[in-house]
A and B are shown apart, each in its own frame.
Chain A
């Protein structure tokens, strides 16, 4: 009797185990099969948490590009199907979700990330799995993974032109303000090396924790140091507090212009145009950039997501990188990662920011640098551009002063 019960128990366990195996196998096979006529692509941004403020719009732009490509018949005759995951502003979550997109959803490529911390968390996942990531945001440089394409600017296409602009304007006493994490600290290391070689004095360097909202002390330090300009690498909400409090003590852009590299049209709306109008930004694209591709892009983006929405540099880069990947797949004739990587080098696209070309040697783009002044309307007016797309130089090999940085 007892024996029989035990045997029955064993049988039940065996059946259960078998059942669960079948279920898993079924899930796997349905995941791995690109059902005929579609290609799955991953989209991995923070849709919740502190970075959602910036990343949700980039996700929207990527979806816009996907739907435009699908409307024209897709890629290789197949429609693109986006699989959207939320990185939740948490770097380990980005790595986990990337792994999930690669091994469970079997996506052909992933578009995603914003902060350097999220990219650094995802990098080993993509390299280990030999999968592709397209990363749409300007960053601190000094990186070139064979499995990442960088569609935002590297330092020599944004920060260095920004410094060149200050130098040309004769503003030679500069104060550095940044959030306390990898991007501002690395960027400022490069800025200090540049300053040393170019006769610019750095009169102060301050970092505040991400999310900081109290700038009273920092502004007192600014006033004591009397710089001619401020170079701002603050990220996220802190910018709002910084600019509001800067204005409330009566510091105007005329006395002390602030050049920001992480404040675009989207962030200007949150900061309040009255607080920031007249200050400068360095990017590769503004909503006001004049060319037919941008006119079409801005109209399509507003038609899909609402008239009050604005476009900006990372949004444009998100949109452009989907087209670049699609062009590489068309050229390669397959979604195979190695073939796409090989095909990508040299691909040119008339993006809303102007002509961009993929540099096959380091997976960055040739991009035109643009300095803009923020207007009362919240848009940004270009006051200077580099005239031609600048060759990406993530390790700053072409600059003698950058020796020893890494």
Chain B
């Protein structure tokens, strides 16, 4: 029973990490249809932001620096995304293959830049004392670090939901994604909305980067470990669907945790991929579909 519960918790935790890294992509890939292979490097940038902040503020302030880096990483990664959008991606809208290749190149460049700035060896951040250890519930240890990541995910999801549904900015964003021409002719400046969407999507990758430093190390290739999973979550969930991404992330997390427990990690990866392929055969559009009246 304890094992079942702790596996359930592991599944939830894996799901929450998947969701966090995929949240940004639900904007840039899900809503704007930009295949941004450099998204993983924004995650990496967020992780390095956390490392730099901790080093400047000192290890004794690990707690405040962690909280501050959530905000700073959002801005840093968001700005990187904004620059990428303005300089390259806006010239490539509607050319998915070119976008894929160009952003793949950008991703390799960013990795090498990180290697040149921070050195090839991985670096690490120290978790603040209040994230050390965990809480014991009926023999199941829930590490504080994982609970903290879940809390970050909840805050991020609620924040995004409120932003998209309650703010005028968010409404404009949804309008442009659903029908660009109509939104444009109603007076929305679609280019400005594109930039903003890209900023937010990339910024969320930065936040994810800060969170994953609590579980692993920070290195130039950090993003490549996560990018494929992030795309899978968005595709399985259905493009541009927040609730789809949530459901997909937690299903994949739980599936992975339970298959791994009863077999092996490598086998779990295979089973999850096979399940995704099979699922997309039945429902190529993903779990949820965006319904619009546009003709395209």
Contact = CB atoms under 8 A, between A and B. Distances in A.
Contacts of A214: 14, 17, 215, 256
B215 A47 contact: no
B180 interface: no
Contacts of B261: 217, 220-221
Given A180-B266, A248-B134, 8 more contacts: A53-B120, A217-B268, A220-B6, A244-B214, A248-B144, A249-B141, A272-B126, A274-B126
B132 A248 contact: yes
Interface in B267-290: 268-269
Contacts of B196: none
Contacts of B6: 220, 223
A255 B287 CA distance: 45
B187 interface: no
Interface stretch (B82-90, B216-224, B242-250): B216-224
Place the interface of chain B in its size category: 35 or more
Contacts of A208: 265-266
Interface in B121-158: 121-124, 126, 132-134, 141, 143-146
Interface string A205-243: 011110111101110110110000000000001001100
Interface stretch (A188-196, A263-271, A333-341, A393-401): A263-271
25 contacts: A48-B111, A52-B120, A56-B120, A208-B266, A211-B221, A212-B265, A213-B225, A217-B10, A217-B265, A218-B260, A218-B265, A220-B6, A223-B6, A237-B225, A240-B124, A240-B216, A240-B217, A241-B215, A244-B214, A244-B216, A250-B134, A250-B141, A270-B217, A271-B217, A272-B126
B120 A244 contact: no
Contacts of A213: 212, 215-216, 225
Interface string A149-173: 0000000000000000000000000
B266 A217 contact: no
A248 B123 contact: no
A120 B98 CA distance: 36
A38 interface: no
Name the 9 nearest CB pairs between A and B, nearest first: A240-B217, A216-B10, A248-B143, A270-B122, A241-B216, A208-B265, A52-B120, A213-B216, A272-B124
Nearest to A270: B122
A248 B133 contact: yes
B103 interface: no
B1 to A, nearest CB: 12
Nearest to A220: B6
A49 interface: yes
Interface in A12-65: 47-50, 52-54, 56-57
Given A48-B115, A209-B266, A212-B265, A271 B212 contact: no
Given A48-B112, A49-B221, A180-B266, A250 B215 contact: no
Interface centre among B3, B216, B261 (most CB of A within 10 A): B216
B120 A216 contact: no
Nearest to B122: A270
B37 to A, nearest CB: 16
Interface string B204-218: 000000001011110
B95 interface: no
Contacts of B220: 52
Contacts of B143: 245, 248-249
A286 B22 CA distance: 42
B141 A217 contact: no
Contact of B122 (A237, A249, A250): A237
Given A53-B122, A248-B143, A237 B132 contact: no
B7 interface: yes
Contacts of B256: 214, 217
Contacts of B7: 217, 220
Given A207-B265, A213-B225, A249 B134 contact: yes
B13 interface: yes
Contacts of B133: 248, 250
B152 to A, nearest CB: 16
Contact of A248 (B121, B146, B212, B221): B146
B191 interface: no
B145 A237 contact: no
B264 interface: yes
A25 B287 CA distance: 62
Contacts of B19: none
B216 A217 contact: no
A56 B13 contact: no
B265 A180 contact: yes
B66 interface: no
Given A207-B265, A241-B215, A272-B124, A50 B221 contact: yes
Contacts of A250: 133-134, 141
B177 interface: no
Nearest to A53: B121
B112 A266 contact: no
Contact of A206 (B145, B215, B265): B265
Contact of A57 (B111, B121, B132, B215): B121
